[in-house]
Amino acid sequence: MKDIIKMIAVLGLIAAVSAGLLSAINDFTAPIIEENIEQRRNELLAEVIEADKFEAVMEDEPIDGEEPKEIYSEAFKNGDLVGYVVEVAASGYGTDPINMLVGVNTDYEITGIAILSHAETPGLGDLAFDDEYVKKLEGRDLEQGFGDIDVITGATASSRAVITGARNALEDLTEALGVTDEVVIDLAEIPDGVYEGAGQGYAGEISVSIEVSGGELISVEVLEHTETDGIADPALEQVPSSMVDEQELDVDTVSGATATSEGIIEAVKDALSEFGGEAEVDMDNLEDGTYAGEADGFGGVLEVEVVVEGGEVIDITYTHNDTPDYADDALPTVAQEIKELQSLNVDTSTGATVSSEALVAAVEEALLQASGSATSKDDSDDDAEEVSLNLEEVTLSDIDDGTYTGEGQGFESTITVEVTVQGGEITDLTFDHDDTPNFADEQLPHIVEEIKSEQSLAVDIETGATYSASGLIDAVIDALPLEAN
């Protein structure tokens, strides 16, 4: 009995020592492995896209307590932005994911793929990493897709993972850059009928047929697919059913069959794509006025004010937080070309592609309002003139001395003011706002000084902060006890 106890104790001690040694070895080797992966990553960057400099772009708002993560790397050659590199992970046959670097040019086409690490079967799985196979993905973009690229016999899961990783890299990058906008499809606006579409699943293309009647989704039927029997079946059944039950296209994916689920959703959206997206700008029918728009640029929101006169775009002013070295050279060229061509179909391959495309998108948003539904500069001036006439009929001396507060709507925020009246005159006017600093902070002090010097709200509003200036005037009207209010 004592021998047994002694043996158990010895075995326990050996197990504890072994566990400790394994833990120590892991702690010692983990940083080395991580360092080797990082070193290999740096060596491979230049292999997936021809560039001589790379700069990491980190996430703006990391999760609390975590370090910011890299979203992608910008690739430069001779100082010009030539593309991006995205790191993605995709599940193959092995126990660990396949970690990949995907190079993408400024036209959002794949330029190269390099494998950082994998646990695929030697000799079979790594056929998917062969240069000849990987080169089939080069030049591909999201519009062309990957549905016609065959998987490798004997390395099906591995080759599917490479294709999935390439597609995910393009989707992640274009989403991060704000290049692809989510297509909004309103079922209530779709005519009754049967529609067909296709999407990329895990193993290949998924085609669907859907029926819409009375503004509702009546049925979603998967017509053809090459997904794995058994694994994909839950997604093929549940996703169409959820769409009909919830009357939504963006339903939850099925665990274990995510790619299949996403392929079905993509196919349904493809079937209804002609009824999604924004209206096009009719450049031949623009109403005169000043219109505001915004879009996501490289470093944040890019805002514009567009002046239409005589049915033509005559002025475009903008503010941005993008990289000055690139954006400040590119944006004036793009704005000038829009004015010269009277078109939004302008060249945005300027070395600051994201900023240039954001400017075009913001101008487009502004001009979509030029059908007469937006508040224009002319409307603002008319309002100011009407207020001025009312002010001329009101004796300011009738207003008790004191400080009054009011609010008005600026470009993207509420403008608050404090107006001090003393001896029948406006003697002080302070304001607070969250509108675009470059525009508002330059214009609003001039508006304040003119109101005080003229003792009138009929002041000139110059292009560049039309909405902010109008909001300031409205806030003063709101503050003062006038009949016009």
For the domain 377-479, what is the CATH code? 3.90.1010.20
What pLDDT digit, counting tens, does each position of 325-336 carry? Answer: 667 888 898 999
Task: Say whether domain 187-275 belongs to CATH 3.10.180.10.
Answer: no
**The two structure tokens encoding residue 390:** 């009312």
Helix and strand numbers (H, E) in the chain are 10, 14
The count of other CB atoms within 10 Å of the CB of residue 132 is 7
Phi-psi category of residue 353: left, alpha or beta, with phi > 0 → left and psi -120 to 50 → alpha:
alpha
**The two structure tokens encoding residue 274:** 């002609």
Write out the residue limits of the CATH 3.90.1010.20 domain(s) in the chain: 187-275, 289-368, 377-479
CA–CA separation, 326 vs 341, rounded Å? 23
How confident is the model at residue 211, as a pLDDT? 93
pTM over cut 0.75:
no
Listed as ranges, residues in the chain with pLDDT below 50 are 278, 372-391, 394, 463-464, 484-485
DSSP three-state, residue 181: coil
CATH class of 289-368: alpha beta
CA–CA separation, 446 vs 434, rounded Å? 17
Give the DSSP letter string of 358-404. HHHHHHHHHHHTTTTTS--HHHHHHHHHHHHHHHHHS-GGGSPSEEE
What pLDDT digit, counting tens, does each position of 158-184 carry? Answer: 887 888 889 889 988 888 887 655 556
| Residue 260, C-beta contacts closer than 8 angstroms, at least 6 positions apart | 201, 202, 206, 225, 227, 231, 232, 235, 236, 239, 254
Half-sphere exposure of 150 (CA within 13 A, CB side): 4
**The two structure tokens encoding residue 297:** 């640029």
